[in-house]
Amino acid sequence: MRYDDLVKKLEKLKTPDVELGSHKQALRMALLNSPRFKQRAALDWTKLLAPVAAAVLLVASLGFFAAVRPESVPPFLGGNEIGKFASYQELQDFVSTNAKYAGLDWRHINLVPSPTPAPGSLAPVWEAGEDLYLAPAGSDYSATNIQVAGVDEADIVKTDGEYIYVVSGNKTIIVKAYPPEQAQILSEIEVEGTVLGIFVNGDRLVVFGDETPYYPYYDGVRLGGVNMVPMPSPAYYASAKTFIKVYDISDRENPRLQREISADGQYLSSRMIGDYAYVVINEPVYEENDEVKLPQVSSGGVETETPATDIYYSDVSDYYYMYTTIMAINTQNDNQEPTYETILLGASSNVYVSLNNIYLTFPVWGDNMGDGEGTSIYRIQIAGDSIAYVASGEVPGMVLNQFSMDEYDGYFRVATTTYGETTGNQVYVLDTDLNIVGSLGGLAPGERIYSARFMGDRCYVVTFKQVDPLFVIDLSDPYYPRELGYLKVTGYSDYLQPYDETHIIGIGKETTDAGQFAWYQGVKISLFDVSDVSHPVEISKLEIGDRGTDSPILYDHKALLFDKSRNLLVMPILLAQVDVSKYSEEELAWAYGEPAYQGAYVFDISIENGLQFRGRITHIDDLANLEQGYYYYYSPFAVERCLYIGDVLYTVSQAKIKMNNLENLDYIGEVPLPDSTWMPYEYPPEEPPAEGPSEGAESGVETVPGGKM
């Protein structure tokens, strides 16, 4: 299948629950909107099916384990206890005994390369008496839209108020950004691999990335039972490796690499607390030359294999296992060696980090593959370079994302959806040992959670099937959570952003009722008043575009720029518009619009005046390009991040940084950005690399008349 054909097929997939009751839309958006998909200069499109390939390889490897009779079985821990393996043999026997989906005999398999998934995001922590959920007070520059005060999140764009640091493929570009008259590129850092995220901490730049060599195996990696015949063609296993590079950027024009650390496995997520960067890495458990491979970490050129006796585990069966390694790196002290701990777990799904703890969640599957029953939760205590696995627990249902989790006043709270003959939604409260102490169920039977947000002793949950109920839940008594009230409106919110203690911003999609389901439409922004918890009110809303309109904020909260003190809300949007002359009145409800615009939409937001559209900024000079196969999804000119320094609004794409006056959005200037240079994979037939930004390109700001945008 050619690249463009794949795009067309993915575009035809419908949305989950809204139309088909499946997760096809989530897959489509994850594939089409991932930076790796859009950056064609560093991407082989076949790698988009990587998670499937990794799972197939892992399951196939475990097929071998089922054929081996364990000589020793690890002791049953019981309850929520966590232990360490006594020996290498015990680790191998544990996998053999507990892997549920075994005994497959895979032959003639050609696995496609497996890329590292886009960085996951983390959820907030709450300390008593602190309003950590509020947007930061007005300052001279904006920060990444994080969820926990004091816990930074790696992103593809960072600023320190004078410089902007931009990730582009295998490059990290340092730009002198303020004052705008002096804006220019100062330096470029290139690596062999793909940069996934960065931190800036004073004069230190931390770069996380993925270098993934691919090796053809015939008998090196076992992909079946003991009687498996040799494969006539090679199966490709992606031996992923995550790297962490720390640079001294005291001289922004000449960054110096200070230390380099790497670990086997795929980068999952990272956080920075004080001087320490914490990174979570997943590596499939697989067999090579009749031996279960153990994870390895390299620091300063010295590679160390983690002994089986240093690896944690708990009594949880899964279809396949992964090593999950959590590493702590002192970004300011190059002489301090990184510390790390590894635990043998299932397939990770979400990560939440507070100031003192990292929580990992994993689905607990039912007897039929794909039937989710519950979620395992692991709490890892962190303090500087100290990492300790302290507790594990389990709750019924599946966790949607990091926003469905929270830590507050010594309790962990989580919202889940159960699936079966009908769906159900519930909120659980767990103590520090991850035992359930309180719960609230019966929320919107037949629907599922689309978004959640915890704010102190309140929880806000959005479910959806035909309309959008916003539930207000009281958690002031952790043993007896209770529903306070709810509001039903059209559409749904994929993301909830606190405005203040009594108001919430919801960003998602508008919908139209179609009887037993609903058709999603354009992007919808709502402002909710929850001061009367029994009767929440939608006090303002805007709908942008028609069906097909999209925004990265719906799956990546870091794409949002919000500052309450400035009444400012900015978000990248792909605008799609329907040509009404092509459809009947009935067809208009489900007709997809054609791409018409991509750029940053700027809004004023306040309690007094609600949501007001101010204008928009694009990096795409020839709008006709949008009509060529949904150009936005892999265009280097698609705006991905927005930030401000002083009175200047900066919009950032892979191709340029554009500067506009923050007050009136007048054009100031722009800085073209260089292309990514690392191209380790061949392109599909007839698929050339993406071209760089055009010379001397200029584009301005547009305002749109009232009504639907």
Q: Please measure the distance between the N-terminal and C-terminal CA atoms of the chain and give it in whole angstroms.
A: 36
**Weakest-pLDDT range from 77-81, 277-281, 470-474:** 77-81
How far apart, in whole angstroms, are the C-alpha atoms of residue 654 and residue 692?
9
Q: What residues form DSSP beta bridges with 418?
A: 424
Please provide the DSSP assignment of 531-575 as one string: SSTTS-EEEEEEEESSTT-B-GGGT-GGG-EEEGGGTEEEEEEEE
Q: Is the pLDDT of residue 234 over 70?
A: no
C-alpha to C-alpha distances, 51 to 56, 350, 542, nearest whole angstrom:
9, 15, 36
pLDDT surpassing 50 at residue 198 = yes
Kindly state the average pLDDT of the residues 475-503. 94
Stretch 153-169: mean pLDDT: 96
How high is the pLDDT of residue 171? 94
Q: What is the pLDDT of residues 611-649, one digit of tens each?
A: 999 999 999 887 665 543 345 556 888 999 999 999 999
For residues 577 and 591, the answer to whether their CB atoms sit within 8 Å is: no
- Angle at 597 (CA atoms; ends 594, 602), nearest 5 degrees: 135
List the one residue out of 123, 150, 128 whose CA is nearest residue 475: 128
- Stretch among 75-89, 284-298, 454-468, 469-483 having the lowest mean pLDDT: 75-89
Q: What pLDDT shows up at residue 437? A: 98
pLDDT score for 176: 98
Query: pTM for this one?
Result: 0.79
119: DSSP letter: P
Whole-angstrom distance, CA of residue 349 vs CA of residue 326: 15
pLDDT of residue 279: 97
Residue whose tokens read 């560093």: 42
pLDDT over 90 at 561, yes or no: yes
Q: Cis peptide before 179, with omega less than 30 degrees from 0? A: yes
Q: How far apart are CA 305 and CA 90, in angstroms?
A: 17
Nearest one of 88, 12, 144 to 558, comparing CA atoms: 144
Q: Is the pLDDT of residue 469 over 60?
A: yes
CB 652 within 8 A of CB 619: no
Residues contacting residue 31 through CB under 8 Å, at least 6 positions apart? 10, 37, 48
**For position 417, what pLDDT does the model report?**
94
Percent of the chain exceeding pLDDT 90 equals 56
In the chain, % of residues over pLDDT 70: 69
Give 132-148 pLDDT, tens digit per residue.
444 444 459 999 999 88
Tokens of 516: 């037993």
What average pLDDT does the chain have? 78
Using CA atoms, how far residue 82 sits from 265, 316, 348, 407, in Å, is: 22, 10, 17, 21
Contact 459, 415 (CB under 8 A): yes
CA dist 14 and 430 (Å) reads 36
Mean pLDDT of 600-615: 98
Is 401:121 a contact under the CB 8 Å cutoff? yes
> pLDDT at residue 293 above 70?
yes
